[in-house]
Amino acid sequence: MHRPPAAPLRLVMWLSARLLAVERFAVAGFMFLLTGLILLNVVTRYSGVSLYWVDESAIYSVVFLTFIGASAMTRLRLDFAVTLLTERFSARGVRIAKVVATAIVLMFGVTLLGLCVLWLDPVGLARAGFDARELAAKTFNFIYTERTQTLGWPVWALYLIMPVFALSMTIHSAANLLEDLELVPRASQAAFLGNSMQTVG
């Protein structure tokens, strides 16, 4: 009889599952938005009344779609893999290689999250009294003073996709690592992939 996973392990799996559900709707939403922007761009250009902000909107939609989709693919184990070496391993060797690879992804996510904190410098911003100009004068970090070219949006709001991606990838890779170490049962992702598809451990 298997003992139930400890509470912290269940929490990681729960967070990953909830996050994946949100990402599913986010991916669908950005795909719908991107399609609408492309069609709008075609119609307005054909009619001679081009909207200059549509191109930039489409670009940022692709960026968000890419990062959110990459995070979901991490949990679904749909990322690219080269199996030229592991095909020659024993079953135990394959399991060890999978654990090592997942641990590397986890370390990458944690490192990227740390770099995002250094980049966005929330502590420095707080010390500057949330004055973007003062922060830029002291640290030459102009991320909070810049705006996009056509939309006029603050770039820091758009760049938040980076720490969000880093955090979500960290959570997903931690959940994958727990499964690879057989500390928790492997979760089925059939609801995300469709009834005819399911992740295979």
What tens digit of pLDDT does each residue of 38-53 get? 999 999 888 888 888 8
User: Distance (Å, rounded) from C-alpha 168 to C-alpha 72?
Assistant: 8
- The string of pLDDT tens digits covering residues 40-98 is 999 988 888 888 889 899 999 999 999 999 999 999 988 777 777 777 888 888 889 89
144, 125 in Cβ contact below 8 A? yes
Measuring CA to CA, which residue among 80, 77, 65, 81 is closest to residue 165? 65
Instruction: Grade residue 191 by pLDDT with cuts at 50, 70 and 90.
Output: low
- The string of pLDDT tens digits covering residues 15-36 is 999 999 999 999 999 999 999 9
- The whole-model pTM stands at 0.86
- The string of pLDDT tens digits covering residues 169-188 is 999 999 999 999 988 888 77
- The string of pLDDT tens digits covering residues 121-139 is 999 999 999 999 999 998 8
Hey, is 154 helix, strand or coil?
Answer: strand
**Beta bridge partner(s), residue 154:** 147
Cα 9 versus chain centre, distance: 21
Measuring CA to CA, which residue among 18, 5, 27, 12 is closest to residue 78? 27
172, 17 in Cβ contact below 8 A? no
Q: What is the DSSP string of 37-68?
A: HHHHHHHHHHTT---THHHHHHHHHHHHHHHH
| pLDDT for position 194 | 57
User: Distance (Å, rounded) from C-alpha 22 to C-alpha 79?
Assistant: 19
| pLDDT for position 23 | 95
